[in-house]
Each structure stands twice: as C-alpha cells, then as structure tokens.
Amino acid sequence: MSPRTVVIGVDSSTQSTKAAFVDAESGRLLAVGRAPHVVSGTAGARESDPEGWWQALRDAVAAGLAESGASASAVTGIAIAGQQHGLVALDRSGRPVRPAMLWNDTRSAPQAAGLTEALGGPDAWTARTGSVPVAAVTASKWRWLRENEPDNAAATAAVRLPHDFLTERLAGTAATDPGDASGTGWYSTATGAYDPELLELLGLDAALLPEVARTGATRVGSLTAEAAEALGLPTTTAVAVGTGDNMSAAVGLGLGGSGLLDHPVLSLGTSGTVFAASRTRPASPALSGFAAADGTYLPLACTLNCTLAVDKVAALLGLDRDDTSPGGEAVLLPYLDGERTPDLPTASGLLTGLRHDTTPQQLLGAAYEGAVVTVLRALDELLRACGLDPADPEVAARPLRLIGGGAQGRTWVETVRRLSGRPVIVPGGGEPVAMGAAALAAAAATGADPVAAATGWRTGDDAQLPPLERDSATWERIGSVLDRASGPLLGGF
C-alpha cells in the first residue's frame, strides 16, 4: 500500500486563515488549522498588515499539521485562496509600504466614480473588464493611494493582491491567476491580459504587477528554503498559483463551465455573495464579471453587509444570534459598512416600520431579512445577466447551494429558504474555499485537473432541504424600501 499523500488548501480570508489538510487521494479532510487576522480602521477604512497574514499562515499550518497527525514529509502541495481586491503595496525588499487596504475599505468610492467617468461610463468598463469600478476594486484603491499618500505610492515597487503576496512568500515567484486578477480593474476579461490603456489611466506601471499564469497552469514552483523552514514542510512541496476565495469556492464545489450552473451559489460570510459558473462572458454593470479558475467565467454579485452586520445587531439588542422571529412590519437594512450592491458606499443602517409592539426578536429577524433580500435581489440580476428570467418557474425552482459561515446557522438557512422559495443545498463537507485550494494544490503536485479532482472528492452527504412557500409580503415590503432608497436617504440615516 502506497503511503498517504497530503495537500494543504489555505483560505486566507478577511478575518482569519484556515489551512485544510486533505488526503490527496480520497479528499478526506484530515484537519483544519486556524489563526485569526487583525482588521483595523474606522470611518470606512479597513486595513490589515500583510505580515500578519504570513504569521497566521504559519500558525494555521502548524496547528493543522499537529491535529492531522500527518508527517510533514507527506505534504506534496499547497495553494492559497485569498480575499479578493485587497491592495498590497510592497517596497523593493518585498515588505509592505503600508497596511493593505481590504476589499471592504470604502474610502476610494470617489476614485471609483472618477474612474468610471474617465473611461466613458459603466458600459465601457464592463466591455473591457467585465466589472464597473466600485470602492472594493483594487484599481480604485490604487488611485486613492496615489491621490492621498503619494509618498507611499512612489515608494511602491510591487503591487500584489492578498493571495499573490502569500504565494510569492511561498515560492519566491511573482504570479497571479486570471480569476483573482479579474477583480483588480486593470485586467481585461475580454483579452485575458492586463489592459495597457487602463494601466495608463491608473498611472500604474505593468512592471509592478505579477505575471498572470496561463489558463490551466496551476504550479508556480516549490517552497523556497526559507518558506519551507518557516512552515516546517519539505522544499519539494509544490506551490500552486492559487486564486481568489470565490473562484476557489467554485473549484471546491466542483463547478465547471458546461453552461449556467443549475445550482447558483449563495455564500453567507462577512459579505454576502452569489455566483454561478458560466461559459458565457456576462456583461452587466450591476455584476462583477470575473474569470473563473478553470478558464470559464464566474459572474458574481457581492454585498458588504452579511453575517458580521447581523451579529452586530444581535449584540446591540443583547440577543443570541438565533433568538429571532420574522420582522413583522419592521424593515432593517443593516448597511453598517456602506453597501456595494446596491452601490451605496456612504450608506448607514436604515430602520423603518417600527411599532409599539415590535419586539427585539423581530428587529433581529428584520436584520436577517434585510441582508438576505439584498443578496437575493443581486442573484436575480445575475440570472438576468446570464440570459435567464428569475420569474420563470423552472429557473425559480433551481436549488441554491448555500456556503459560508452563515450556512451553519439555523436562522440564516431558514431565512434564505423563506425568502427565496427555493430548495437549498448545504454542502456537507464544509470549507469549500479551502477545499478548492486543496484541489489546486493537488493539481500543482500531479498535473491533474483541479475541478475534476474536487468533483472526485465529493462524498455526497449534502443536506438537501425542500422549498418553503415564498414569503412574498416580506420580500415586497423590503424591496419597496430598497427601491425608494437613495444615497442621501441611506447615507444620512
């Protein structure tokens, strides 16, 4: 019997690092090492020290190795899936010039608007990059840095995304992939390369950027001696080029590009995200038309406020997160960090419909409902962009695949079921982002197709929940508030 080989899939997210140790043959999850990140900032700023991500990666790998019982010599591959869009500016020695500006940093909203206008409007951006600049996009953050911290911009010798930064620390090679690159605002999904005209508009030298790996290439190198010593792993460990967290989740779920995904994915985390795999390059200013890790496309819509915002409401009310009831007449839009979809970066939370008999449990329920309706409306736009009518009974009956931390929460699951009216599938394996990264790591080590590897690993123990009758009254009540809402209304509440 051949000795077991192990691969490591790393999910480096906004709040923490998870290192999944996976049996490369069976896909069995052996252990998950975890380490927290520190996020700082007020008044729209959200920053982290990239060196903290590197330390968290070391800690998570050490914890996972100890818990798994695997020998370090059995590890054959490692891949990073990172939070998208973050701006990592490095000096000539490869050290951060300043803390990384994260995806949910909204300070660059004016720069995003200026960039949109400078190129001729949303349609011009969609035609090139598949996405319109918003505060989340890296290009907006680079423009902000040049305008507000010119000395730091001038000192920048390399610009990286979070996953690029960690991959380069592992392999010593500057590389990125089409999936994560498609969220920068300077990569064209139309041409599959950096866009020279956009780089000129941004004042960004292409020499500062990592090379984009060709589609299908998964291996960027092996662990450097320094990285191998830091992680306690062999230098023979293959390093995958990695990707963004959403693209990695698609791999982990075994999503390919045989057409629009029958089961759209709804991810409930710090952000609320909906995406689907498609061979069609979508073009809608309301979406992020990302590339996928396997050469197809990953149309995606993202909201800023999801589990973290609702947990904050629960804390303010002094309630357990599942001590809820439906919101009744109350509508609570928990836009505590501004909002990305709809594009309201200066918004704050909005509460309306309050009555004498409104209970704290209803207020918390209303926060769940506001977050869920916001992301489900984004799903409808995604379906329309891919040529489907959300009101078509056949389309409306397609199951939602629910992932993220919220997928483990009873109230989140039941609120999605009640407001979507769809069947819901909760993957039983857990950690789709890390498992997708593990599949990329296995591909780097063996040359196999990562989506095929992830598909072969699936254990079939997903929970499939039947649809509930859709709560149309709540949907329409919240939708009416959203339709009437404007920047001044939400921004000034």
Q: Which amino acid is at 5?
A: T
Secondary element (H or E) of residue 187: strand 187-188
Angle at 84 between CA 82 and CA 86, to 5 degrees: 100
408 in a labelled binding site:
no
Residue 259's contacts (CB-CB under 8 Å, 6 or more residues apart) are 278, 279
Residue in 11, 23, 177, 245 annotated catalytic: 245
Q: Give whole-number Cα distances, 245 to 210, 250, 391, in Å.
A: 18, 9, 30
Instruction: Judge contact between 238 and 78, C-beta under 8 A.
Output: yes
Q: Nearest-CA neighbor of 479 among 368, 333, 348?
A: 333
CA atoms within 13 A on the CB side of 120: 8
In this structure, are strands 265-268 and 6-12 parallel, antiparallel, or unpaired? unpaired
CA distance 279 to 289: 12
Q: What are the tokens at 68?
A: 């798994």
CA atoms within 13 A on the CB side of 462: 20
> Is the peptide bond between 342 and the residue preceding it cis, with omega within 30 degrees of 0?
yes
**Longest Cα separation, the chain:** 70
CA distance 251 to 129: 22
CA atoms within 13 A on the CB side of 471: 18
SS3 (DSSP) at 246: helix
Secondary element (H or E) of residue 68: helix 50-68
With the C-alpha atoms ordered 187, 193, 195, 200, is the resulting torsion angle positive or negative? positive
CA distance 464 to 417: 11
Query: Is residue 245 among the annotated active site residues?
Result: yes
Q: Report residue 479 CA to chain centroid gap.
A: 25
End-to-end CA distance of the chain: 66
Q: 387 — phi, psi (to 5°)?
A: 85, 15
15 in a labelled binding site:
no
Query: 195: left (phi > 0), else alpha (psi -120 to 50), else beta?
Result: beta
Which residues, listed in sequence order, are joined to residue 275 by a DSSP beta bridge?
Answer: 265, 300
DSSP letter, residue 293? T
DSSP letter, residue 123? H
Known binding residues for substrate: 84-85
Which residues does the annotation place in the binding site?
84-85
Q: Which residues are catalytic?
A: 245
